[in-house]
Structure 1
């Protein structure tokens, strides 16, 4: 049962969330968007430690946290869609404001399997967004909350959904790999990559492809050619492992990876071999289609 103090703290969170939603909703028409110092300070204080509260919430509090957190999250998404040209608004919505909405949703999610699944899905999206927005410390905190959820699932999941658990494990490690890259800790990124479990899960493999490609391409832009070759090679290995080159998304990833390889290594024998392999698979797919017809 929540104490009177925790109930009051929860009420403060609801009031602040509504105030925050009102502020960002009324700001887009201004030529320069910024939250006032008091609001920023409150936001930073709330996000200093996750989860937002230490005690397990009551059912009514949990339900309200979920409702208000969803409302704030959707407000951020709507503003990001309607005001793409407002860079400051996008940064606020993608970063700290949306992270506060995540914190509410994460705390509201129950500790059973379904609650952990939902919390992990939101955490992975939010952590990735924070990394891409440069909010590395915040991303680290979110990944830590995901680690607690994942550990709880691994120890107590009674649904027997091994495929989903495997997918989330892969996504968790790949996010840590991605964060380590931006923290310029390549040694840690390599170590974490080595811990990723062997997986035949399609979504897990796509996540490996995506992150490895992003790191490889980023290294290529920095002219770190050896690093780029390693990570783009890992992306291509994930393609081969997934064996889903017939999907539009996989073909798009593969095309980008090949373009990145050719940009730095055009004319090298290994790159030509990979191109031939892709072409041969495309021709095989075409033959299969014609035969099926």
Structure 2
């Protein structure tokens, strides 16, 4: 059963890769888009029914991982492109990207179940840890793209995976560095903040922001600043000037916590925050 499910899924993903490349080559056109949409729906249904990945043969896991990575590479750059004016095409690429992430996730182990019984505890921990880190890195990049370009359900699905893996890391990997856990938690909660705001739940966004471990490193600060900027800019675009000012001022407060010698690379981000804040303040004054 597992072999049949994995083989059928592999065929569908190969077809999706080919259609996505065709859409890129022809700058295109409705037939590939319609076909891609249908294939995405079918793959999502198959992923939901796929048995525990530990039951798959190593060759099946390896093949799914390879085509998932290929699909990710095919659609990653187009989905990030600001040159695509067709919102439908951008959304399509983002949906393909979400499928690619799902494949990376299911082939990145949560634990060493299904591996040889002869491996030691250290090797088992490394298998689990490497699987989590790889999936989380891809998850955050996928969320960064999908939250602005795809239906919000896609970002929600991605963040549910992040939450599950974060819980697993906290519960079963005592050797992991606390700073790294704080960094992962910060990025997770800031995406949750951004998503809650986009869902129109500013109260939940405020609640989630209170959970962010702000005491951590420069990497955490830059993540906080970037997400606050996205929320502030989004609020400005829809005329919520007070909310925009609030989140942009929060971004500036976090920038001030970064030591000057460590924050040089964030200069452009700071300028962007200040510029957007100025626009929000001016627009708010005009409104009054």
TM class by shorter chain equals 0.7 to 0.9
Q: Rg bigger for which structure?
A: 1
Q: Is 2:219 the counterpart of 1:203?
A: yes
Equivalent pair of 1:146/1:172 in contact (CA under 8 Å): yes
Aligned length: 262
Counting only pairs closer than 5 Å after superposition, residues 158-197 of structure 1 correspond to structure 2 as 158-197=174-213
2:165 corresponding residue in structure 1: 149
Distance in structure 2 (CA, Å) of the matches to 1:52 and 1:235? 42
Equivalent pair of 1:51/1:106 in contact (CA under 8 Å): no
2:92 corresponding residue in structure 1: 92
Instruction: From 5, 9, 12, give the equivalent of 2:8.
Output: 12
Q: Is 2:239 the counterpart of 1:243?
A: no
Q: Is 2:146 the counterpart of 1:130?
A: yes
Residues 257 and 142 (structure 1), Cα distance of their counterparts in 2 relative to 1, 3 Å cut:
same
Per-residue Cα deviation, 1:135-164 (whole angstroms, up to 9, x for no partner): 201111111111111100011114332221
**Partner SS state of residue 214, structure 2:** coil
Equivalent pair of 1:51/1:103 in contact (CA under 8 Å): no
1:261 corresponding residue in structure 2: 277
2:41 corresponding residue in structure 1: 44
Equivalent pair of 2:12/2:43 in contact (CA under 8 Å): no
Equivalent pair of 1:200/1:242 in contact (CA under 8 Å): no
Structure 1: unaligned runs, 5 residues or longer:
269-293
Structure 2: unaligned runs, 5 residues or longer:
111-127
Instruction: From 14, 24, 35, give the equivalent of 2:32.
Output: 35
**Partner SS state of residue 249, structure 2:** helix
1:72 corresponding residue in structure 2: 71
Equivalent pair of 2:90/2:149 in contact (CA under 8 Å): no
Instruction: From 14, 19, 24, give the equivalent of 1:23.
Output: 19
TM-score, with length taken from structure 2: 0.82
